């Protein structure tokens, strides 16, 4: 009699956790002021890195909040106003391209998040941080990879940071109309590369980032 193949176990699809799961967990641990932190602009060639910190009241649940990258600009703008109206506290931290060049983008991103946390009008007692790097503050914290999709507080921070930075880049375009910052937001798109080749490096460009660094090197050699 031929051997029968072993029966494969049936895969069970677990339901997704609600986006306030981590907030609820730490609220239940006795933390009353849980802040979500995230940044925007880490990979751009120009402009600052912007971070936000957001605190919601214990028990809050806003399932419409998600990772800013998964939302359209219109929805981000609408949620920006909603978050500002519903948050117990929020704050923005901005670190310039000059500081990014002097301390590197990782340290600048952490500094922006630290600045945002420090500026909250309420004293947070726990931090939920997007990514795998903690923030240099003496507050208990948990890092969450892809946290902007897992935590409403981090997702809210990603929206505030992204919208704030996008608005800053639109203002930069008024000062430097030869660069379409309102379109590419300072990221290394083909259009931005062409603008760099045609018009050169601006004071708001990150001089330690390629291809900005290479253009500066070539210019110094000529």
Domains and CATH numbers, the chain: 21-221 (3.30.420.10)
Residue located via tokens 């909250």: 120
Task: State the pTM of this model.
Answer: 0.90
pLDDT digits (tens, 9 = 90+) for 176-195: 999 999 999 999 999 999 99
pLDDT digits (tens, 9 = 90+) for 88-100: 999 999 999 999 9
CB of 126 closer than 8 Å to CB of 104: no
Q: If pLDDT is split at 50, 70 and 90, which confidence band does 14 have?
A: very low
pLDDT digits (tens, 9 = 90+) for 129-169: 999 999 999 999 999 999 999 999 999 999 999 999 999 99
Q: How far apart are CA 162 and CA 221, in angstroms?
A: 37
Kind and range of the H or E element at 35? strand 34-40
Q: How far apart are CA 194 and CA 188, in angstroms?
A: 10
């Amino acid at each position: 009699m031929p051997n029968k193949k072993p029966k494969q176990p049936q895969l069970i699809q677990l339901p997704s956790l609600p986006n306030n799961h981590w907030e609820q967990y730490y609220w239940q641990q006795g933390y009353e002021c849980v802040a979500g932190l995230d940044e925007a602009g880490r990979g751009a060639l120009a402009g600052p890195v912007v971070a936000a910190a957001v605190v919601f009241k214990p028990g809050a649940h806003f399932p419409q909040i998600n990772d800013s990258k998964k939302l359209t600009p219109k929805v981000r703008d609408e949620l920006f106003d909603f978050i500002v109206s519903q948050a117990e506290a929020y704050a923005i931290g901005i670190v310039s391209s000059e500081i990014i060049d002097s301390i590197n983008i990782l340290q600048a991103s952490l500094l922006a998040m630290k600045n945002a946390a420090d500026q909250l009008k309420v004293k947070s007692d726990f931090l939920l941080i997007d990514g795998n790097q903690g923030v240099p503050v003496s507050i208990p914290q948990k890092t969450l990879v892809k946290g902007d999709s897992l935590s409403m507080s981090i997702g809210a921070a990603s929206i505030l940071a992204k919208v704030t930075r996008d608005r800053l880049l639109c203002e930069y375009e008024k000062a430097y109309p030869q660069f379409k910052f309102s379109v590419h937001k300072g990221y290394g798109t083909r259009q931005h590369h062409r603008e760099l080749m045609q018009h050169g490096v601006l004071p708001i460009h990150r001089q330690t980032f390629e291809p900005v660094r290479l253009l500066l090197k070539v210019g110094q050699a000529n």
